[in-house]
Structures are given as structure tokens and as C-alpha cells.
Amino acid sequence: MRRIVVGFLGCGNIGCGVWKLLKEFDADLLHRSGVQFDIKRILVRDVHKKRDQMVPQELLTTDPAQVTDDPEIEMVLEFMGGETPATEYMLRALEMGKTVVTANKMALALNWHLLQAAAEKHGSGLYYEAAVCGAIPIIRTTIDSLMSNRIETMMGIVNGTTNYILTRMSQEGGEYADVLRDAQRLGLAEPDPTSDVEGFDAAYKLSILSSLAFHARVPFSVIYRQGISQVDAVDIGYGKELGYTMKLLAIAKRDGNVIDARVHPTFIPNDHPLASVNGSFNAIFLHGHACDDMMLFGRGAGSAPTASAVVGDMLYAASRETPRHPTFNNTDALAEGLQVTDNWQCSFYIRLNASDRPGVMAHITTCLGNEGISIRNLVQRDAVDGCAQIVMITHNAGECAVRKALAAMASDDVRVESMIRVEGK
């Protein structure tokens, strides 16, 4: 039996979940791995706070050095959240030669290069399966199982809060603000939902995932981001009529040395595997040149599912003689030789409010035609008060061309109500 002494940085939702899993499943873990984890010290903000688990008071501390600098502690588990001071504490633990396991996508996405440099310099391990999509083993799958692939596309539903909101808007026809309020009441959205609904959380995760998938650093700063706070229930309804489901997707594609990486509301055909991923579930759909299409699906958040990933990392780290580091030069800049394009190709859903007058439709089609954009599908609703609602889906087109066409058609007679990207497989 090998005994590994462990320290926690944080003991909220995830910390308590890891505590519970390590305590309740310890005999099985020992039997399966030959390792026993002993929790020695836990950093919190308030040692008197009531916690979900009966964590002995004497383990709690407000002094980070009691975790990061204790020579007996071999593994430091970080579940504090936020960029600072979590990054500083992890850096300190790595400098002290300890293995760090983190669930913190924000700190990792923003400071991965610093953490990685410290890990490599001091021979420490840095593991982060829990930072992306909770229990879904997408990190290890990408770096180990799919190493023989050139991954060309990754599209994921990586944020449970926004998926829950869009699912309910789609199934019940509810308005965004009402469904968000309900999600907050049920504890499925934070009191300040900005990070989720504006796509920051998804973009942090996409930065990590796309870097691993493309074996090249894709920093958070190059990712295009648009959240769901402006989504109109009217568009979800029209999308449904046309056979599409709306999801907040994190998308990364690579074609040679050109990549696009983006988070935005997206229509996908109802028969796409991601279309049936509902509620707070997460899923990643990817395409590799050898493995072809693949999808991983599961619980992307929550105390027990995230603990499953954390403890999986602890066992993985314990089983390795030397730490595992990424295959690429992990700097804070986009990998040399790579280019990020903002002119990605896909179909587009466009909703217009147009005067019901001769020549207006010709103006719309001319603006699209001038940019080489053709229409695949068009629905026109009877005019009310002299204005008709026009909804169209284009054939594949470039983002820049579509923006240019929409800017040219906007006039007293045409109001552009919405533009939503449409992705297929």
C-alpha cells in the first residue's frame, strides 16, 4: 500500500464532493490502485462555516502555506475557483514539487503557461480533467486515446446552465429572462450568471480543449465569444419550424494552419447528435481523421460528477513515475505558425423585418448575391402593419461576407432582427 498525503485548497461544492468520494469509496480505491489518500489540511475562507460534509474542524485552516508548504503533503487539490489567489497558490504548490489537481477552468485557461512552466521546472504534475465538462473524460480521451488522430473539429455543449436555459426556452417557448430567473431559483444558475450566460465559462473550456486537440496553444484571448442573453424566443420558434435546435456551442475547427475558435448560440439540425443533449448535460462531438465522428456525453457539473474526475486524476497521477506535460510549447500566445480566422464558413439563419413593398425583396437578394451568398430555405410571414417577417437559411458562406451583406441591406425598409450561425456535422 502507498500512502499519499493530500491537502485541499477550498472545500465548497466540489471540495465536499471529493471529501465524500475519498471517504466513502476508500476501500475500493485502495483495492483497485494500492493507494490510500490521507487528507491532512484544508484551506477555506471561514473555518466556522457549516459544510455539506462533516469535515473535522482541526483540518481547516485559513493559512494557504499550511497546504502548499507542508513537506508531508504530496498532492494539492484546488477547488477554490477564480483566477486569484488560486493561481498563486497552485504556483506555490508546484514550486514546492507537489502534484496539483485542479477543477478551475478560469485559472487554468488564463494562466496555463505559468502553471505549466512551474510544473516542468520543478518536476511537478499538473492535472485538470475536472476543469472541463465535469465527469466526462474528455481531457484524457483527447490526449491519450485520440493521440493517433488529427482532430479537425470539436463542437461541445460545455456549459450546463446555458443548456438548461435554452432547453427550457425551446421546450416551453419561454422568454430568456423568465427561464433564467427560474434557473437561479433552482440553484442551476449563479446569482451573478455573467460567466455562464455570456459564454466566458465555455470559452475558458474551449481554450483548454482546442489547445489539447490541436497540440498547439489556443489562448482564451483569440476565442470569439457571444453568449445567450440576447437570444429571442421568436428565433428558437422559427428554428424549430425549420428543423433546427438552438445550443450554445463551443466550436474549434482546424484546416491546415488556420483555425477558428468560437462560442455562440448555434442552430444545429434536429438529427445532429448534440441536438438531443438536453437540460444540464454536457457533450463533446468531435471528428478526427482516423476515428471519424465521436461524441462523449455526461454530467458536466455537480459535486459528485466533478469529484469523479478529480479522484480519477489523483489515481492517474499516483500511477505515473514522471508527470505528464502537454505536447506543445505552452506560452500565453497563439502557437507559432497558426492563424486564427474570423471568417469561418457555415450556414446562417437570418431574420428580417421588411416593408411589404415592391423592390424590397429584390434589394435583399441583391445584397446577398453581391457577396456570393445563396439562400437554401426561405419563409415569409404575412405582412402585419405593412411589414413582413422574413426568415432564411443560407447555404455555406463566410462570416465576413454575411456581415457585409446584412450591413448593406439594413435600411428604412429592412431591419435585421437576428443572425444565428448554423452548423452541421
**Residues at the contact surface with ligand NAP, assessed by CB under 6 A:** 10-15, 43-46, 49, 79-81, 85, 103-105, 130, 134, 301-302, 306
| Selected catalytic residue, list 20, 23, 40, 205 | 205
Set of cell numbers at residue 335: 502557437
Contact call for residues 68 and 97 (beta carbons, < 8 A): no
For residue 384, the 8-state DSSP code is B
Q: How far is the CB of 132 from ligand NAP (least distance, A)?
A: 8
- With cell 462531438, the residue in question is 285
Rounded to whole angstroms, the Cα distance separating 252 from 244 reads 21
Q: Which residue is nearest to ligand NAP (CB)?
A: 12
The burial of 213, by beta-carbon neighbours within 10 Å (0-12 exposed, 13-18 middle, 19 or more buried), is given as: buried
For residue 156, the 8-state DSSP code is E
Residue among 302 and 323 whose Cβ is closer to ligand NAP = 302
Set of cell numbers at residue 152: 479537425
Residue among 104 and 266 whose Cβ is closer to ligand NAP = 104
Q: How far is the CB of 77 from ligand NAP (least distance, A)?
A: 10
Residue among 130 and 213 whose Cβ is closer to ligand NAP = 130
Contact call for residues 74 and 98 (beta carbons, < 8 A): yes
Q: How far is the CB of 82 from ligand NAP (least distance, A)?
A: 7
Q: How far is the CB of 87 from ligand NAP (least distance, A)?
A: 11
Task: Tell me how far the alpha carbon of residue 249 is from its chain's centroid.
Answer: 8
Q: How far is the CB of 128 from ligand NAP (least distance, A)?
A: 10
Residue among 10 and 288 whose Cβ is closer to ligand NAP = 10
Among the listed residues 189, 244, 251, 192, the one whose alpha carbon sits nearest the alpha carbon of residue 218: 251
State the helix-helix crossing angle for 360-370 and 399-409, rounded to 10 degrees. 150
Cis, peptide link before residue 265, omega less than 30° from 0: no
Residue among 30 and 47 whose Cβ is closer to ligand NAP = 47
Widest Cα–Cα separation across the chain:
83
Annotated active-site residue 205? The verdict is: yes
- Which positions are annotated as active-site residues? 205
